[in-house]
Amino acid sequence: MENQWATYFEENQKVWDNRVETHLQSAFYDQAGFMAGNSSLTEIEANALGDVSGKSLLHLQCHFGQDTLSWARQGAIVTGIDFSEKAIQAARAITEQLGLNANFVHSDVYDLPNVLNGQYDIVFTSFGGIPWLPDMKKWAAVVGHFLKPGGTFYMAEFHPTLYLFNFDNYKVEYGYFTEQNPYSETVSGTYADPKAGIQGKEHFWNHAISEVMMPLIENGLQVVDYQEFDFSPYNCFHNMVEREPKRFVWGNFGVRLPHVFSLKMNKS
């Protein structure tokens, strides 16, 4: 972890530690349904990787592991990492309850090469992961470090254009390109439960598509597929409308805004 980011990361980690119990109990995550066999993967990423049976998969920023374990249920040999120790503890407990084979590691993304060995057939990350990271070049180097030659990197993420807006007053409030200093805000509740009695200070960075894609290319990855979607599979921002089942749009402006992008790349 870089010293100039240490305070930001520590405060973000506290925010995510505090969210774990609330998220486990929330309708948003539907933990009861997940334990009963439901997959947490959305229509965007659920079938993007084809048959994952027997393939090793590294999930960066896995929270308490629902998506990681959903891949395990499809036959992948999974490892999930997250900087929240409470989230990793929860993931391990859920894994034991379900009797699945999964490995969970407590680590910041940037520190991961120091605590985890090996390479993987698939490296995966998804919704709401990269805004907590300030340096996409260092992130891409970690992806390249852990991806086997011939392996596949896949991400589904909220579109940086969507992150420009204040979701309450509909005004452009944030920049499109990465800034050295983060946007810092004191937040109450959580996207999974806005009324939850938790509060914390969080720090985040927006990243242009080019700032995400080019460092990956520089680390030996080639684009296989890139898509943009005019909906979110999650009702996780203020003032969203469910246009179709499990397809939410923000603002209901009558125009199609990019909400999510997905990126699939192979390593030579």
Q: How close are the terminal C-alpha atoms of the chain, in Å?
A: 28
Residue 3 has a pLDDT of: 75
102, part of any domain: yes
In CATH, what number is assigned to the domain containing residue 198? 3.40.50.150
Which tokens sit at 156?
């589904």
Neighbours of 97 (CB within 10 A): 9
Residue 231 has a pLDDT of: 97
Q: Is 77 in contact with 56 (CB distance < 8 Å)?
A: yes
Number of domains in the chain: 1
28, part of any domain: no
Phi then psi for residue 133, to 5 deg, are: -115, 130
C-alpha 54/C-alpha 260 separation (Å) is 29
Residue 57 has a pLDDT of: 99
261, part of any domain: yes
Residue 200 has a pLDDT of: 95
57, part of any domain: yes
Residue type, 41: L
Q: Indicate the burial class of 101 (C-beta count within 10 angstroms; 0-12, 13-18, 19 or more).
A: exposed
Residue 265 has a pLDDT of: 98
78, part of any domain: yes
pTM: 0.97
Phi then psi for residue 150, to 5 deg, are: 85, -5
Mean pLDDT by 10 residues, the chain (268 residues): 84 98 98 98 97 98 98 98 98 98 97 98 98 98 98 98 95 96 96 96 98 98 98 96 96 89 97
C-alpha 235/C-alpha 191 separation (Å) is 8
33, part of any domain: no
Residues spanned by the domain of 176? 3-18+51-266
23, part of any domain: no
Residue 1 has a pLDDT of: 47
Residue with tokens 């929860």: 90
63, part of any domain: yes
Residue 254 has a pLDDT of: 81
Residue 104 has a pLDDT of: 98
